[in-house]
Every structure is written in C-alpha cells, then in structure tokens.
C-alpha cells in the first residue's frame, strides 16, 4: 500500500485508482489527501522549519546526499514504479531516476552567499538571503520524479521545508521516494500529500505556505496565479511551450533529426522543452520530413517492461485524446502524414511517432502545444518572417537555430523571445545554467543558483557604526 509522508509518518485514509497507460486499466491505488491531512502537513512543515534553517548548508547537504544514496539503494524499485505509472520504458526510467539523484546531489552542493555592499568606517550594508519558510510544490506527470525532486532539493538546501504533491496520474514513485526520506530528513521537513486538482487548489488556497512552486499546464498556472493574487505570494510557474526548431539552408539535417526524435518522440514528446515544430527552408522540407519519418519508424513501441521497447504509451487518456484530435485537425487542414498518423489498435494509449508535412501556421498542430509524439514540418521562404511568427505566439520556453554559420545562428537566436535558445542543439538543459520562464511558459527562473534563490527572500541590512560626532540626516 502506498502512503503519504506527513511529519515523518506514513498516512493514507482515502484512495483513488492509478491507471496503467499501457492497458488503460487501474493497477494500483494512491492516497488522496483530506483537508485535515493537508493541514497536518503544513503544520509539521512550519514546526520543523526553524530547526532545519538553523542547520548550516553543509549539514543540510549531508542530509540530501544521504537521501540520494538511499534512493540509489532502491533504484530498480523506484524506476519500476516510474515505468508502471508513467509508461516510460524501464531503461529510460532508470536513467531518469539516476538523473534525479545526481540532480539532488548537485543542487545540494550549491551555496547562496550574503553580499556585503559597503563596509566602511560609517556603515556596513549587507544583502542577506533567508529561506522563505514553507514551500508548496505541485508537480506534473510527464517527468514526475525529476521535476518534483528538483523543487524539493532547491527548497530544502536553502533552509525551507516543503509539502510536495505529485500528479494524481503518477504519484507512486514520488510517494515511495518520500518514504525513504523518513529517518534521513528530520520529521516535517519533507512532506508529501497526494490527490488531484482539488488537492492542488486547496494547497494554493492554504495560508500556511510562503511560496507556490508549480510545474504543469499553462491553464493551471494561470488559475494558480489568479488564486494567489490576493496574497501576493511568490510563485514559480513552469508551464507549457511550443518550441520551434528553425533550420537554415546550411544547417545539419541529420543533427536536427536526431534532436527532434530524442526530444519530440522519446517519452512520447511529453517534455516541456522539446522540438514541437520544425521550420525548414522550402527546398529542404521534403528531405527533413523523409529523414524524420525514418527516425520515427525506428522506434520500438511497447509497454515499459518489454526489453527492446524504446517508446511507451502516451501517459493518460486525456492527453491521448488530445493528440488524436490534433492529428485529425492537421490532416483535415491539408497535412500530409509521412509516418504514424493514427493510434495503434491495441489497449492502452499507444500512438506512433508521427511526422506531418505541408502544414502552415494556423493549423492547431503548429500553433498549439501538442505534448505528444507528433511533429509538423513547416516550409518557409523567409527566415525573418519565421522569427516574427514564432515570437507572435503565446509561449516562450525554448527554441533552436540549426546552421553552420555560428554568428548568424547566435544573432537569430538572440531575436527569439524565449527563455533558453540554442544553436545546433535543442533544450540544452544544464543544471548549472538558468532556465528562465517567460510569456505563457511561466514565471521566474529555475535551475542553478536561480532555482535556489527562488525559494529565498532578499533582505538589505544596514548597520550604522558608532561615530565620534553625530551624523546629520539627509533631508527626505
Ligand atoms: P496540469 O496543469 O494538468 O497538472 C499539474 C499539476 O497541477 C498536477 O499535480 C495537478 O494535480 C495539479 N493541479 C491541477 N489543477 C490544479 C489547480 N487548479 N490548482 C493547483 N494544482 C492543480 O499539467 P500536466 O498535464 O500534469 O503537465 C503537462 C504540462 O506541464 C505541459 O503543458 C508541459 O509543457 C508542462 N511542463 C512544463 C515544464 C517546464 O519546466 N516549463 C516542465 C514539465 C511540464
């Protein structure tokens, strides 16, 4: 049985089904937090926070490293749960779980130092960083462990305590991981509660949190921002994207195709930052489509524990239905299917990697976030018009330019209104580098020391030193 962790204890009273996306049927039950359990988690986190903050950074790092070691000790079990609930092939879940523990260790090694601005005979002025207090973290289903634990590690190393809610669609691996934290982290420092939309909304409404850190859809992010406005409470929102990859005439089609298959097809394209549309010079669009279709056809589609599987099902029915509808819209709009194009005729939510050519801006597949294994190829004549069209869209997560002319690539990348731009690579996630969230892709900056500072508050402290003669106050 799976439990929430509240104040160092295992708690579960009400339950909901968890669906196996490779069959579409329930395979487990997960707790659903009551209002009282949410209150108990917040109270425990508030009570535990002063002592956790009072530990120094090294002591907090030691606890987080111990947690990472404990997860590594049960990595096969955690990764298997991740595969069962998320649908990802087991080998890829293992990689993601290893990445999660590596990321916990790395984040725990960062330090945020105070900064002395003046220290002279008259005064000392210091910018001090304090933890915010208690953080509410709400995570999505596309990369449940990694995305949730980045929030946890960033908040905890800074001296905050936390209540984490995984997605109701993929709660189990996170709950198991949290169970391992009992006895490693002091009681109340890391609490998990489970549940869906109502539980998330109850967290956002709860006055016991000092910050909401959310990863998920833009629609939910806007709902959270709206609900949070009266409290003016700090928010980090990591939301959707519709990343464009723009090929220039001299760019490597082969490199672009590899990146598109890795980000746009692997994990069924369920990455926030992934190639979600390709703009190709008109005379190259056919070649790009043919090569991407060949890469699409090379995936072995099967449930997570089939040894040769490289692609599992879409994670849930709502997302599967959305992908089916968006592909139907694309073909109705004149799109030419080069690979895939229809769901597999078997139980579960399997949809083959799909490439659709002959689409233009205005088709849903080009304009919206599909969050599925489907990539449109859009032929263009004028790259300046492409940049303008991409910038006119609502999202601004990441984007890429593919060219051998690095100066031109950098100049075009600088014109893309996105948080992260790359040349000859897409979504170059590096935990040492800022991940800025702009437009309808979010609010705030994550990763590196930015992610940690996002869980802290800045205080300016001025100390006047004793003077032989009184200082005259400047007029206000
Ligand atoms: P979602 O918004 O449906 O759900 C995310 C989480 O929010 C879940 O835990 C859910 O229970 C909770 N939730 C739902 N309604 C809520 C409400 N009203 N108040 C509070 N919490 C609520 O998102 P999803 O479908 O799970 O995730 C997919 C989306 O996440 C995609 O759009 C993807 O691009 C985005 N994403 C963004 C990033 C990023 O870093 N920018 C990373 C991963 C995923």
Residue 377: strand, helix, or coil: strand
- CATH number of the domain that 78 lies in? 3.40.605.10
Calpha distance 402→410 (Å, rounded) = 10
Is the same domain home to 226 and 269? no
Parallel, antiparallel or unpaired: strands 456-464 and 134-138:
unpaired
Q: Domain containing 407: what range?
A: 244-423
Residue 474: its pLDDT value, please? Answer: 66
Distance (Å, rounded) from C-alpha 358 to C-alpha 334? 7
In a domain, 465, yes or no: no
Q: Which residues have a Cβ under 8 Å from the Cβ of 122 and sit 6 or more positions away?
A: 464, 465, 467, 471
Residues 221 and 265 placed together within one structural domain of the fold: no
The rounded Cα 360 to chain-centroid distance in angstroms is 29
Residue 325: CB atoms within 10 Å: 12
Can you list the residues of the chain whose pLDDT is less than 50? none
Active site residues: 238, 272
For residues 201 and 273, state if they share a domain: no
Same domain, 205 and 273: no
Q: How far apart are CA 49 and CA 39, in angstroms?
A: 15
- Cβ burial of 290 (10 Å; 0-12, 13-18, 19+) is middle
DSSP E strands in 105-195: the ranges are 115-119, 123-131, 134-138, 161-165, 190-192
Indicate the top mutation candidate among 38, 220, 397, 431 to test ligand 1's pocket, ranked by most ligand atoms within 8 A of CB. Answer: 220
Interval between CA 140 and ligand 1 midpoint (Å) = 5
C-alpha to C-alpha distance for 144 and 90, rounded to whole angstroms: 14
Question: What is the helix (H) or strand (E) element at residue 245, kind and residue range?
Answer: strand 244-247
Nearest alpha carbon, ligand 1 atom 21: 200
287 within some domain: yes
Instruction: Give the CATH number of the domain where residue 356 resides.
Output: 3.40.309.10
Residue 432 placed within a domain: no
Please, what's the b/e burial string for 132-142 (b: 16 or more CB within 10 A of its CB; e: otherwise)?
Answer: bbbbbbbbbbb
Q: What is the pLDDT of residue 349?
A: 98
Q: Which atom of ligand 1 is nearest to the CA of 139?
A: 9
CA distance 277 to 294: 17
**Phi, psi for 59 (deg, rounded to 5):** -65, -40
Exposure string for 148-160, b = 16+ CB within 10 A, e = fewer: bbbbbbbbbbbbb
pLDDT at 429: 83
Same domain membership, residue 279 and residue 402: yes
Same domain, 163 and 283: no
Query: Is the pTM of the predicted complex or chain greater than 0.95?
Result: yes
CB 188, CB 161: distance < 8 Å:
yes
Tell me the CA–centroid distance for residue 171 and ligand 1, in Å. Answer: 13
Tell me if 466 is assigned to some domain.
no
Burial environment of residue 263 by CB neighbours within 10 A (0 to 12, 13 to 18, 19 or more):
buried
CA of 14 to the centre of ligand 1 (A): 23
Q: Are 196 and 97 contained in the same domain? A: yes
- Provide the pairing of β-strand 354-357 with 374-380: parallel
**399-to-82, 181, 231, 419 alpha-carbon distances in Å:** 28, 37, 34, 9
Is 256 found in the same domain as 163?
Answer: no
Residue with CA closest to ligand 1 atom 30: 216
Cα angle vertex 262, ends 257, 268, to 5°? 120
Q: What Cα–Cα distance (Å) separates residue 255 from each residue in 83, 245, 295, 335?
A: 29, 12, 12, 24
Per-residue pLDDT reduced to its tens digit, 165-198: 999 999 999 999 999 999 999 999 999 999 999 9
pLDDT of residue 398: 98
What percent of the chain shows pLDDT beyond 70? 99
- Left (φ > 0), alpha (ψ -120 to 50) or beta: where does 157 sit? alpha
Query: 78: burial class by Cβ within 10 Å (0-12, 13-18, 19+)?
Result: buried
Residues with CB under 6 A from ligand 1: 138-142, 147, 165, 167-168, 196-197, 200-201, 204, 215-217, 220, 223-224, 238-241, 272, 369, 371, 397, 441-442
User: DSSP per residue over 54-89, as a string?
Assistant: HS-HHHHHHHHHHHHHHHHHTHHHHHHHHHHHH---
């Amino acid at each position: 049985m799976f439990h929430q962790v509240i104040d160092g204890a295992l708690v579960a009273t009400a339950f909901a089904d968890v669906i196996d996306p490779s069959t579409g049927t329930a395979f487990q039950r997960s707790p659903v937090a009551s209002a009282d359990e949410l209150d108990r988690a917040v109270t425990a986190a508030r009570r535990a926070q002063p002592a956790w903050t009072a530990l120094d950074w090294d002591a907090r790092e030691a606890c987080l490293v111990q947690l990472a070691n404990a997860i590594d000790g049960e990595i096969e079990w955690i990764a298997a749960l991740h595969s069962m609930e998320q649908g990802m092939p087991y080998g890829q879940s293992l990689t993601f779980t290893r990445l999660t523990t590596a990321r916990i260790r790395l984040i725990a090694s960062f330090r945020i130092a105070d900064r002395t601005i003046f220290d002279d005979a008259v005064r000392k002025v210091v910018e001090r960083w304090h933890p915010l207090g208690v953080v509410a973290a709400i995570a999505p289903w596309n990369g449940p462990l990694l995305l949730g634990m980045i929030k946890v590690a960033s908040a905890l190393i800074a001296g905050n305590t936390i209540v984490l809610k995984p997605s109701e669609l993929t709660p189990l691996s996170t709950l198991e991981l949290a169970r391992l934290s009992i006895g490693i982290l002091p009681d109340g420092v890391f609490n998990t509660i489970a549940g869906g939309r109502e539980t998330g909304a109850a967290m956002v409404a709860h006055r016991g949190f000092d910050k909401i850190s959310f990863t998920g859809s833009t629609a939910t992010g806007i709902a959270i921002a709206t609900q949070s406005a009266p409290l003016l409470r700090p928010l980090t929102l990591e939301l959707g994207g519709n990343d464009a990859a723009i090929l220039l005439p001299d760019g490597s089609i082969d490199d672009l195709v590899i990146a598109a298959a890795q980000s746009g097809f692997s994990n069924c394209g369920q990455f926030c930052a992934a190639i979600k549309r390709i703009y190709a010079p008109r005379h190259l669009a056919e070649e790009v489509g043919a090569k991407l279709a060949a890469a699409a056809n090379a995936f072995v589609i099967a449930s997570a524990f089939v040894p040769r599987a490289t692609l599992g099902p879409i994670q849930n029915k709502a997302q599967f239905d959305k992908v089916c509808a968006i592909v139907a819209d694309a073909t109705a709009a004149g799109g030419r299917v080069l690979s895939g194009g229809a769901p597999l005729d078997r139980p579960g939510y399997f949809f083959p990697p799909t490439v659709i050519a002959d689409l233009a801006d205005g088709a849903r597949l080009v304009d919206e976030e599909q969050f599925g294994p489907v990539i449109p190829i859009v032929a263009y004549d004028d790259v300046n018009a492409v940049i303008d069209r991409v910038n006119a869209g609502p999202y601004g997560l990441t984007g890429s330019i593919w060219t051998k002319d690095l100066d031109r690539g950098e100049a075009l990348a600088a014109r893309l209104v996105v948080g992260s731009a790359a040349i000859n690579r897409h979504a170059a996630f590096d935990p040492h580098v800022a991940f800025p969230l702009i437009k309808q892709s979010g609010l705030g900056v994550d990763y590196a020391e930015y992610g940690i500072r996002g869980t802290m508050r800045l205080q300016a402290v001025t100390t006047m030193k004793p003077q032989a003669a009184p200082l005259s106050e400047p007029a206000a």
